[in-house]
Amino acid sequence: MTLSRLNFAAIRETVARMSVGWAALAAAVNLLGVTVDASRWRIILSAIRRMPLSSVLQGQFVGIAANMIFPFKLGEGARAFAVAAREGVPTATVLTTVLLDRVIDAVTLPLFVALASALVPLPPSVMRFRRWMVVGLAVVAIVLAFLRSWILRRRSRVPDPEHPAGSTLDRIADGLRVLDHRHRLAFTIATALCAWSIRAILIWCMFRAFSLNLPISAAVGVLALLNIGIGVVATPGNVGTFELASAGALALWNVPPETGMSLGVTMHVLEVIPPASLGVVAILWHRGALWPR
């Protein structure tokens, strides 16, 4: 599907007929999902030091706002900087937790799809990716096991009296400390699965907003294919790729491209604009803490 084939007048008409109530519910569900994402990150950070959810959530909002500007999720650096500046934790340590948070979020997608496929029927177009997802999950598990071993070795070293605060590698190891806490790590994975469930519910709400009588299994399938699509091609804020991936995934359920594109555009706006706006507010409200004079 290409943009030249789309009827933009039909897209505008479809958006105009959208149910505002269901769209508002989808926006609320998305903010709930962002809060769950922040809670997952807070669990990772708690292995270093307990932090208030408000600080972590504001950092999450700042990261979403920054990702609208930078491609390849480079705005996540702003998320790390915001929390590091407010909580007085080394930036390298917080940035490591952000990277670990992104990895855990990504690798739990195949686990979520596998669990969902045992409950609801998923289309072959989704199931054919499951094997590669499972392989990726196994590779990441091996890497995380290696990192855990590395953390244990570094923590057993005799401290250097000339560098009592530790080196950059020590700060990175601190950011991975949750890997040495099995209960916290298990809770992190469970929270990530909860976040994926909320995202599937968000997509189902968008189905209702556009009068699409599709089952929850379609929401799971669209969620999986959408994230594969935006993972391959990353643009600032995923603008364009998100909408095309949404329309392409919905086409598997015989949804017209104009409807699929309308749903994708609206869902993207609802997912990004409210939390990004809160991120801008957080930056302006706490600018003295983020950029001290």
In a domain, 161, yes or no: no
Candidate from 26-40, 161-175, 275-289 with smallest mean pLDDT: 161-175
For 95, the token pair is: 């940035």
**How big is the chain, counted in residues?**
293
8 A C-beta contact, residue 140 and residue 107: yes
User: At residue 132, does pLDDT exceed 80?
Assistant: no
Q: How far is CA 2 from the centre of its chain?
A: 27
The dihedral sign for the CA sequence 177, 178, 183, 186: negative
CA triplet 141, 158, 43: central angle to 5 degrees?
40
In a domain, 160, yes or no: no
What's residue 179's pLDDT?
A: 85
Write down the residue that tokens 């909580």 correspond to. Answer: 87
What's residue 164's pLDDT?
A: 47
- pTM for the whole thing? 0.84
Domain hosting 138: range is 3-155+167-290
In a domain, 10, yes or no: yes
In a domain, 162, yes or no: no
Mean pLDDT of 122-130: 67
Candidate from 39-53, 102-116, 127-141, 236-250 with smallest mean pLDDT: 127-141
Neighbours of 21 (CB within 10 A): 11
Which position has the higher pLDDT, 70 or 33?
33
Closest residue by Cα to residue 250 from 238, 234, 266: 266
Highest mean pLDDT of the ranges 53-57, 110-114, 177-181, 281-285: 53-57
> What would the pLDDT profile of 73-125 be if each residue is shown by its tens digit?
778 888 999 999 888 899 999 999 999 999 899 889 888 988 888 777 777 76
8 A C-beta contact, residue 225 and residue 123: no
In a domain, 193, yes or no: yes
User: At residue 159, does pLDDT exceed 60?
Assistant: no
Closest residue by Cα to residue 6 from 270, 209, 235, 247: 247
8 A C-beta contact, residue 200 and residue 216: yes
Cα separation, 185 vs 84, in Å, equals 21
In a domain, 231, yes or no: yes
8 A C-beta contact, residue 246 and residue 266: no
Query: Quick check: helix, strand or coil at residue 222?
Result: helix
> What would the pLDDT profile of 2-14 be if each residue is shown by its tens digit?
455 666 677 888 8
Q: How far is CA 114 from the centre of its chain?
A: 19
What's residue 293's pLDDT?
A: 36
How many domains does the chain contain in total?
1
Mean pLDDT of 36-65: 94
In a domain, 36, yes or no: yes
**Helical H runs in the chain?**
8-16, 20-46, 53-67, 76-87, 91-117, 124-127, 130-155, 168-175, 182-209, 216-232, 241-251, 257-285, 287-290
In a domain, 56, yes or no: yes
What's residue 176's pLDDT?
A: 85
Buried b (16+ CB within 10 A) or exposed e, 198-218: bbbbbbbbbbbbbebebeebb
User: At residue 238, does pLDDT exceed 80?
Assistant: no
Cα separation, 155 vs 136, in Å, equals 29
